[in-house]
Amino acid sequence: SRQYLVAGNWKMNGGRAANAELITGILAGVAANASVEILVCPPSVYIDAVAQQAAGKIKVGGQNLSEQEKPGAFTGEIHGTMLKEVGCQYVLVGHSERRAFYGDADDVVAGKFKAAQSLGLTPILCVGETLQEREAGQTEAVLARQLNAVLDLNGIDSFANSVVAYEPVWAIGTGKTASPQQAQDAHAFIRGQLAAKNAKISNSTRLLYGGSVKADNAVELFSCPDVDGGLIGGASLKAADFLAICAAA
Ligand code: 13P
């Protein structure tokens, strides 16, 4: 069976003092949640310090990485080897904010997934439809397109070391959560797409739900059969909220 993963995506939030306080708070509550894997993804400049403080009890990941195979003259970019060196095991790839604001098109996302894989970082591939796409009945087509771009470049075997996060864009930061049924339907579709290529890999791949997850809706979301945890934005910035979500897993 799949181990639950609860991941905090801090986005562009935090600072030295706030991060230290947050990690102290999570560490204080983490022993009670030993069966769930807990991950935080801080802004890159803080990863090193957060990873040292987390001391392996909380895992640490990047929010983005360069698709370049090798380090070099790419101003402002961060190579996966750098994320690894400062303690990351995971990295988000294709978050909707990257797709919408920074030009991370499907082919770029596929390249980033490849770059992460080649270094032994576990990519957390984010997929999800906009409200307009959902209302036009295109949810499954969008999910299939986003998944296929990565599958075509990397192959199904690469998903053995990966996590997929379903984050409907209309639910991110809006307070509108997908209903458990909407989440389960999308997750079952994603798992089916993977199963069509390799049933065993599909069965072992963790699928996270993201989008306005809070302590009071986490239990019902996490009890869906194909929801294996969550990718948490706003509610990952307060230790008590994040711990309550971890406890729901
Ligand atoms: P919120 O939990 O703030 O809606 O953000 C979700 C998200 O985008 C996590 O990656």
Q: Which atom of ligand 1 is closest in space to residue 231's alpha carbon? A: 9
**pLDDT reported for residue 30:** 86
Cα–Cα dist 117/80, whole Å: 9
CA dihedral 226→229→231→236, nearest 10 degrees, is: 150
pLDDT, one tens digit per residue, over 89-111 is 999 999 999 999 999 999 999 99
Ligand 1 centroid distance, CA of 43 (Å) = 15
23 — pLDDT class (breaks 50, 70, 90): very high
88-93/122-127 β-pairing = parallel
**pLDDT reported for residue 33:** 56
85 has catalytic annotation: no
pLDDT, one tens digit per residue, over 25-65 is 999 998 655 689 999 999 999 999 999 999 999 999 999 99
pLDDT, one tens digit per residue, over 128-187 is 999 999 999 999 999 999 999 999 999 999 999 999 999 999 999 999 999 999 999 999
The closest alpha carbon to 201, from 191, 214, 210, belongs to: 191
Q: Which atom of ligand 1 is closest in space to residue 212's alpha carbon? A: 4
Residues having CB within 6 Å of any atom of ligand 1: 9, 95, 167, 172-173, 210-213, 231-235
What does residue 104 show for φ and ψ, rounded to 5 degrees? Answer: -80, 80
95 has catalytic annotation: yes
Cα–Cα dist 140/134, whole Å: 9
Cα–Cα dist 152/127, whole Å: 16
* ipTM exceeding the 0.90 mark: yes
Q: Which atom of ligand 1 is closest in space to residue 213's alpha carbon? A: 2
What does residue 209 show for φ and ψ, rounded to 5 degrees? Answer: -100, 140
Contacts of 22 (CB under 8 A, 6+ apart): 14, 237, 238, 239, 242
Q: CA gyration radius for the chain?
A: 17
The closest residue, in CA terms, to atom 2 on ligand 1 is 233
**pLDDT reported for residue 31:** 67
What does the domain layout of the chain look like in residue ranges?
Answer: 5-69+77-238
Domain 5-69+77-238 fold: TIM Barrel (3.20.20)
pLDDT, one tens digit per residue, over 176-229 is 999 999 999 999 999 999 999 999 999 999 999 999 999 999 999 999 999 999
**pLDDT reported for residue 32:** 58
**pLDDT reported for residue 1:** 84
Cα–Cα dist 134/132, whole Å: 5
**pLDDT reported for residue 87:** 98
